[in-house]
Each structure stands twice: as structure tokens, then as C-alpha cells.
Amino acid sequence: MHRLNGYPLFISRSLKLNIKPCMVPLYLNNSEWLPCMRRQNLFAKKKSRIATWLKVTALFSGIGTLGIVIAKVSLPTDPALDRQVELSISAAIAPPETPLAQRDATLLDRSPSALTAETDTPSAVTAEASREPNPDTTRTVRVQSGDSLSVIFSRLGLSAQEASNVIALGDQAAPLEKMRPGDTLDILISADQSLKSINYQIAPNQSLSIQRNADNQLTANQIVLPVETRLATAEGHIDSSLYQSAIDAGLSANMVLQLADIFGWKINFLKDVQNGDHFRLVYEEKFVQGKRVQTGHVMAAEFTNAGKVFQAVRYTTPEGKAGYYEPNGASLGRGFLRYPVEFSRISSKFSLARLHPIYDRIKPHKGVDFAAPTGTPIHAAGAGKVEFVGWQHGYGKVVKIKHDGGYETVYGHMSRFNAALKKGSTVAMGQTIGFVGMTGDATGPHLHYEFHVKGVYTDPLIAKMPEANPIPSKYRKDFLAQTQSVLDLMAQNSQAAPLNEANASALATND
């Protein structure tokens, strides 16, 4: 290959050109005459000859360049493949920096298969037209700690406007603002990612249904079904623990806690229970449309501890105040609940020298920690007046209640408060004041419960409590009439057998 002025000069071997050294370059430029040229007068004499030579040289050089490029390309010999090649002449004069592979890319595929791929075939068009839109999908969502409707909608890809439209339904949709961790929502989402419906089980007999109607408007409807209450019996022997024995007898964890509450002032269930102890009870079962949905209150109970028998019956006064009494009318209760929350375990006991799990140093633990899932209701341990509701360092969200007789109770690490609670509110024993959380200095969800007696921190698990009053004389006759039937039932069904259909029907009531 020869070069002129840095550009390649392709000479076809099939052409024998007599190009003398005094020729000018292929790319004409009057300033680049070669040194071999004669003086100006010589140039003037041979001007016509040089012009002729220039034309001939340019013609043959161009033909030579085209020939060498064609020679460089390996053209197919099969006529059937000739149409696969389209040669771009402009690539032949590309600067040397342009890669050969890039220039070869100008060979375009024009085969029938390639041409077919570039156009929609009738079958492809038919398939596209017959493709059905994505169907509506139902998403079942379990509410997590910290969730709100807008947070859940965001997780599902629904817009914030959809959440606003639901909230705008007002009181009918208000239960969605009080969702608890563990609750479930069934949400129907259309193919275009818009809300079609929500179904929320508020309670075993109560549900909320939100639907999009034919006018593309959301409507809400709360459904309340009647609850049938039946009585059932159970009994068990303690082999390892009260909890496990109760579960083996078919009782729920809630029943175990009720049993501990009923006899909590007579028996220390953390220390006194031993193998060989025995219990039996009559309790409520709730049915909705024939399906058992939950258990209710313990109506009568008996616990034998170290050979000593304790009995209790539940009685509700005409004014609606309920409590547990001995069969003779003496109160089993005290002015305070022993346990203000349904808990799974005691994660930290009262101690004046505990290694703090966060600060890693010895600090007094002036209360008891009851471990429970976030959102578990917390109850006022006794009747009193709310002294403080809000946030305090360490406690997080906390409620303090002042009671008669110099008592005060403290409830810390709540996730949220009862919305109606405020400073100065009066509360009844057992009233829900908030819900378990882990705000403040907490490593997990639990209730931090303190019990103060005349300003002194006291272990609530062993503190002596004021006794409650016995049955008033004006209610004694009614009390005996109500309680004797369940005491008889407990005595008759001492083999842990559930009530038969006849007994269940006779004792069933509708709430």
C-alpha cells in the first residue's frame, strides 16, 4: 500500500499505470506541487499535457481504490445469498481510525427471514389482540407495628389518594384508624392498580366492608352478627406447670390468666403451685353463626393447692359491676388487679440491683416487666384518676394513675394510649388505658409496671392489697340464685367433658 499525504492510495494490480514521481497527489492542492516540477515557463508549455495526465490519474486512481475495496470484501458466490450484502461505498473512503469491523457493519441483512421479523405477522397481531388484561388480585395483609392505612397502601403500590378516599368515608371507616398488629385486611386490587374493595374483621362478630360501586365511588358498611354464648367445663391436674396443664385440658392462654387473676390473692402462682394440684372450671364460649370464635369469662372455678380447696363464682350486679366472690359472698378480689396485662412471661422482675440491658450497668429495676405482643391491651390495675399521660424519658409513652389509700400505678413503654384518656380522667379497675409497645428504653415489646405505696416503690407481685367489699346485703338473694346453677354444673361435670348439646342449649344466651 502506498500513502499520499497520510491517506492510503490503493493501486489495483490489474492496472499498470505509468505514474511518474512528478505527479501531484490524488487530493489536488495547488500548494503541493512536487519538487520535480520544472520552472514556471516549463509548466506553461506543458499545461495542457499535465491537465490531461491529471484527469487520467484521478480516473484510474479512483478505479483502483474501488477495486481494492471490492477485493477486500469476501462477496458470496452463491447467487441466492447476493441479496444479503449491501456495500456502502462511503465506508471505503473512511479515515484510517475507523475500525474495519465497524465498516463491515454496513452489510445489512435483507434475507426474507429478517424482513419477516421486521413486520408484524398476522398471528402475532392476533395474539396481541387476544391477550387478556391482568386479573384483579386479592392481597391479604397482616398489620405490623407502626402500620397505618397509607403505609399499607404504599406497600401494595396503591396511591396516597386512594388512602385519602377511604379515610374520607368518615365514621364508617374509622375502625381502620384503630388497627392493631396482627389484624388482617383482605384488599382487592384491580388490573389498573386501583382499589376495588377492603374487608376487615374488626371483632369475631363484626366486620367492615368497603366496596367500589358502579359509579366508581367507595362505600362502607359495618356488619355486626349476633353472638351466642354457651357454657363449657374443663378440669386438669398440674404435672409440670399450670399453663401447660391448662393447655392440655383444652383451655386458652386467656383462661389461664383469668384463673390466676381470680385466685391471685389467695395463691401465689409463681411460687405455691406444685405437682398434684388440681383445677376445674365453668367458662363461656362465644359462637357466631354456629362457629366457635372465642372464649369468654370464667363463670365458676375451683383450685386445689396443697390439699386446700378454693372456690370462686362470677357475679354481676344489676348496675353491671362484675366481680369474683366466694360461694358465701365474700370477695376474692382486691382493690387492684395482680396482673394488668395478658402476658406470655415475666421478662424482668422487681430488683434494686439489676444489670440494665441497654446501659450495661447496675441500676434498680423498680417494677415488673410483662412480655407481651405489641398492641396487647393494658388495663388499669385499680380504680383511680389519671395523673399523667404522655412521654417521659426512659418510660417512653407512659400513664400514671393515682388511687385512693396512697397507691399509685405506672404503665410504661406503651405503643399508644386509649384515645379517650387524658390527665384528670377517672378510670375503673380493668379499663383499657393503652396498648403494649416498646417506646423509650426497651429492647422488646413489654409492659413496665410499677406499684407505689405512699411514695415507696413496691414489688407488685408480693405487695399486700386492700380487700374489696363483700356482696351488699341487698344483692345477696340475687347472688345466690345466679351462682348456684354454675356451681352445680361444675360439680356435675368434673371429668373434663364438655357440655352436651342439651345442656349447652339450655344454658346458651344471645349477646
Does 30 or 304 have the greater pLDDT score?
304
Asked if pLDDT for residue 72 goes beyond 90, the answer is: no
The listed range with the strongest mean pLDDT (101-115, 123-137, 166-180, 334-348) is: 166-180
Does 323 or 54 have the greater pLDDT score?
323
Domain boundary residue, one of 206, 224, 242: 224
Three-state DSSP at 339 gives coil
- What pLDDT was estimated at residue 338? 84
Distance CA 166, CA 40 (A): 98
Do 218 and 232 sit in the same domain of this protein?
A: no
Domain membership of residue 314 (yes or no) is yes
244-258 average pLDDT score:
87
Neighbours of 475 (CB within 10 A): 17
Give the chain's domain count.
4
- What pLDDT was estimated at residue 48? 53
Do 98 and 12 sit in the same domain of this protein?
A: yes
Do 362 and 425 sit in the same domain of this protein?
A: yes
Asked if pLDDT for residue 223 goes beyond 80, the answer is: yes
- What pLDDT was estimated at residue 427? 96
**What confidence tier does 62 reach under pLDDT thresholds 50, 70, 90?**
low
Kind of pairing between the strands at 322-325 and 345-348:
unpaired
Do 367 and 298 sit in the same domain of this protein?
A: no
Give me the half-sphere count of Cα atoms (radius 13 Å) on the Cβ side of residue 2: 13
Helix (H) or strand (E) holding 300: strand 291-305
AA letter at 233: T
**What confidence tier does 65 reach under pLDDT thresholds 50, 70, 90?**
low
Do 100 and 141 sit in the same domain of this protein?
A: no
Domain boundary residue, one of 179, 198, 224: 224
- List the CATH number of the domain containing 327: 3.10.450.350
Question: 251-255, 385-389, 430-434: lowest mean pLDDT where?
Answer: 251-255
Domain membership of residue 402 (yes or no) is yes
AA letter at 302: E
- What pLDDT was estimated at residue 357? 56
> Which domain, by its residues, includes 505?
228-333+469-510
Domain membership of residue 320 (yes or no) is yes
- List the CATH number of the domain containing 450: 2.70.70.10
71-75 average pLDDT score:
46
Show the cell assigned to 211.
366496596
Domain boundary residue, one of 104, 123, 152: 104
Contact in structure between 451 and 264 (CB atoms under 8 Å)? no
Do 452 and 385 sit in the same domain of this protein?
A: yes
Asked if pLDDT for residue 143 goes beyond 50, the answer is: yes
Asked if pLDDT for residue 61 goes beyond 70, the answer is: no
- What pLDDT was estimated at residue 10? 46
Do 233 and 186 sit in the same domain of this protein?
A: no
Asked if pLDDT for residue 354 goes beyond 80, the answer is: no
Question: 220-229, 255-264, 487-496, 500-509: lowest mean pLDDT where?
Answer: 500-509
Does 401 or 108 have the greater pLDDT score?
401
Asked if pLDDT for residue 14 goes beyond 60, the answer is: no
Domain membership of residue 125 (yes or no) is no
Do 305 and 353 sit in the same domain of this protein?
A: no
Mean pLDDT across the chain: 77
14-26 average pLDDT score:
43
Do 392 and 425 sit in the same domain of this protein?
A: yes
- What pLDDT was estimated at residue 26? 42
- What pLDDT was estimated at residue 487? 93
Does 467 or 52 have the greater pLDDT score?
467
455-462 average pLDDT score:
90
Say what percent of the chain tops pLDDT 70: 68
224-246 average pLDDT score:
91
Question: 118-127, 157-166, 431-440: lowest mean pLDDT where?
Answer: 118-127
DSSP assignments along 88-153, one per residue: -GGGGG--TTS-HHHHHTT-----HHHHHHTS--HHHHHHHHHPPPPPPEEEEEE--TT--HHHHH
**Ramachandran sector of residue 468 (left: φ over 0; alpha: ψ -120 to 50; beta: rest):** beta
Q: How many helices (H) and strands (E) does the chain have?
A: 11, 25
Show the cell assigned to 378.
393494658
Asked if pLDDT for residue 242 goes beyond 70, the answer is: yes
Residue 443 per-residue DSSP state: S
The listed range with the strongest mean pLDDT (24-33, 125-134, 455-464) is: 455-464
Do 419 and 453 sit in the same domain of this protein?
A: yes
Distance CA 293, CA 229 (A): 10
Q: In angstroms, what CA-CA distances link 457 with 29, 336, 352, 362, 367? A: 108, 16, 10, 17, 8
Contact in structure between 166 and 179 (CB atoms under 8 Å)? no
Domain membership of residue 463 (yes or no) is no
Q: What is the pLDDT of residues 355-386, one digit of tens each?
A: 555 555 567 888 999 999 999 999 999 999 99
Do 378 and 453 sit in the same domain of this protein?
A: yes
Q: What is the pLDDT of residues 314-342, one digit of tens each?
A: 999 988 888 899 999 998 877 898 889 98
92-110 average pLDDT score:
41
158-168 average pLDDT score:
93
Domain membership of residue 112 (yes or no) is no
The listed range with the strongest mean pLDDT (90-104, 263-277, 409-423, 483-497) is: 409-423
Domain membership of residue 118 (yes or no) is no
Contact in structure between 84 and 76 (CB atoms under 8 Å)? yes
Do 216 and 304 sit in the same domain of this protein?
A: no
Domain membership of residue 123 (yes or no) is no
Say what percent of the chain tops pLDDT 90: 46
Asked if pLDDT for residue 416 goes beyond 60, the answer is: yes
Cα angle 259-260-262, degrees, rounded to a multiple of 5: 65
Contacts 24+ apart (CB under 8 A), 37-42: none
Chain-centre distance of CA 463, in angstroms?
41
